[in-house]
Amino acid sequence: MDNKKELIRVTSEYFENSIDYHKLLKASKEYKNLLNKLCGQELDKVTGKDNIQLNNGMALGTLWAAMCIDDLIRTRKFIRGINKAIKEKINNKESIHILYAGTGPFATLLLPLILRYSKHKIRYTLLEINPITFKILQKVISELKLGAYSITLLNEDATKYKLTHGIPDIIISETMQSALAKEQQVSIFFNLMRQVNLDSIFIPKKIKIYLGLKTTESSSEKIQTQNYYKEKKVFEISKEDSICAHLIENQPHKEISFPKIKTIITKEKLEGFNQLALFTEIQVFKDEVIEINKSGLTTPLIIKDISNNSKDSITIKTQYKICNEPKLDYKIT
């Protein structure tokens, strides 16, 4: 079958408004099979398992980046969120520009959309730092015969990339793990946020980290999220966030130093919980939100077992740090 038609067919399930997990899983497997066929190799056999260590965090090895597709809710929400962002932008302009920073070997989150829009309406710039991943990306795009579309592929570092070809209308990056640990999402977004105006849409639009409490006890009546309590938002990255805006304005070229935040959780609130945790919430775009524990990106990160806590309250000092292993740093007293 024609690869383009097959791509549209296998990815149509992502656009259905209600989730049928069985159909979504089938669609995801078919999409992955098609991508593997297009790249002409089984990725677990290539030397693409090694992550790349950089000053601002790591870039995933090819195999791991390819496997992100399997996080069904993540992949569905991003594809739908990007689609909604395109719809918002495309009617007001003759043509729009989308930058995808950290595509992985398949440009997984954007590929289902390219063929669904006119080739004259959207220009694409795809950035990928990992040379092995980038080679596979080139092969996939070439096998799909997308020559009539305006697609620029660049083997570059998105934390340093300069927007020399105009300001994109939509900027996409999914270079993160739960609690924004290890990977380079924050550095990539800060580099790009510094260069755009208010009109550009960032996907995800907002990522928030909360400090809170969790219990390991679960009864069959309780759905997972009822076992959580969010005490305080301790980090946010979005164009709208006042701290991000302040840092971008006042630390335009320096290394970013995020504020330290002190949180006190009182004894009454601690009752019934036995773990301190970090919770991640992602607003991809509009109503496409990835809630706590719905994806690998929003799995709670347990930072301390407090089942033997005898104190009246717990104080936690947090600060997001960008270094070779970015993370939300914390001190518990």
Ligand X SMILES: C[S@@+](CC[C@H](N)C(=O)[O-])C[C@H]1O[C@@H](n2cnc3c(N)ncnc32)[C@H](O)[C@@H]1O
Residues near ligand X (CB under 6 A) are 59-60, 65, 68-69, 101-104, 108-109, 127-130, 133, 157-159, 174-175, 184, 188
Please classify residue 304 by burial: count the beta carbons closer than 10 Å to its beta carbon, then call 0-12 exposed, 13-18 middle and 19+ buried. Answer: middle
Q: Cα–Cα distances in Å, from 236 out to 154, 205, 252, 253?
A: 29, 10, 18, 20
- Considering the complex, state which of residue 28 and residue 227 has its C-beta at the smaller distance from ligand X: 28
In the block, residue with structure tokens 């806590």: 309
Smallest separation (angstroms) from ligand X to the CB of 297: 9
Nearer CB in complex with ligand X: 60/122: 60
* Rounded least distance, CB 253 to ligand X, Å: 18
Nearer to ligand X, 159 or 200 (CB): 159
SS3 286: coil
Half-sphere exposure of 247 toward its Cβ, with a 13 Å CA cutoff?
21
Alpha helices, DSSP H only, in the chain?
3-11, 21-39, 62-67, 72-90, 111-114, 131-143, 185-193, 242-250, 267-270
Q: Shortest Cβ distance from residue 324 to ligand X (Å)?
A: 13
Tell me how far apart the alpha carbons of residues 76 and 23 are, in angstroms, rounded to a whole number: 12
Write down the least CB distance from residue 35 to ligand X, Å: 10
Pick between residue 186 and residue 213 the one whose CB is nearest to ligand X.
Answer: 186
Q: What is the smallest separation between the CB atom of 290 and ligand X, expressed in angstroms?
A: 12
> At closest approach, how far in Å is the CB of 38 from ligand X?
15
Closer Cβ to ligand X, 158 or 265, answer by number? 158
Residue number with CB closer to ligand X (146 or 215): 146
Nearest to 275 by CA among 265, 287, 289: 265
* Position with the least CB separation from ligand X: 102
Sequence-ordered list of residues with C-beta below 8 angstroms from that of 23, at least 6 positions apart, any chain: 13, 16
